[in-house]
Amino acid sequence: MVNLTDGLTVHHASDLLASKEISSVELTRAVLDRVAAVEEKIGAFVTVTDELALAQADEADKRIAAGEAGPLTGIPGVVKDNMCLAGTRTTCSSRILENFVPPYTGTAVQQLLEAGVIVVGKSNMDEFAMGSSTENSAFHTTRNPWGLEYVPGGSSGGSAAAVAAGEGLFALGSDTGGSIRQPASFCGVVGLKPTYGTVSRYGLVAFASSLDQIGPLTTDVTDSALILNAIGGYDPADSTSLKRELPDHMAELDRGVKGLRVGVVKEMMAGGIETPILDAVRKAAEVLEHAGATIDWEASLPSTKYALAVYYILAPSEASSNLARYDGVKYGYSWDGEGTMWEGMERTRGAGFGPEVKRRIFLGTYALSAGYYDAFYKKAQQVRTLIRREFEEAFSQYDVLLTPTSPTAPFKIGARTDDPMAMYLSDICTIPVNIAGVPAISLPCGSSDDGLPIGLQLIGPSLGEATILRAAYAYEQATDWHTRRATV
Q: Which residues are catalytic?
A: 80, 155, 179
Tell me the backbone φ, ψ of residue 409, rounded to 5 degrees: -75, 170
191, 219, 357, 382, 403 from 264: Cα distances, Å: 20, 25, 35, 26, 6
Task: Compute the distance between CA of residue 153 and CA of residue 103 in angstroms, rounded to an integer.
Answer: 30
Going from the C-alpha of 406 to that of each of 272, 281, 295, 390, 457, the distances in angstroms are: 10, 11, 21, 21, 9
Which strands, in side-by-side order, build the sheet including 213-218?
A: 45-48, 118-123, 76-80, 170-175, 213-218, 190-193, 440-447, 453-459, 400-404, 261-265, 294-299
Greatest Cα pair distance in the chain: 71
Upstream peptide bond of 155 is cis (omega within 30 degrees of 0)? yes
State whether residue 90 is helix, strand or coil. Answer: coil
The SS3 of residue 338 is: coil
Are the CB atoms for 187 and 160 separated by under 8 Å?
yes
Query: How far is residue 387's CA from residue 395's CA, in Å, rounded to a whole number?
Result: 13
CA dihedral 457, 243, 176, 354 (to 10 degrees): -160
What is residue 88's DSSP assignment?
B
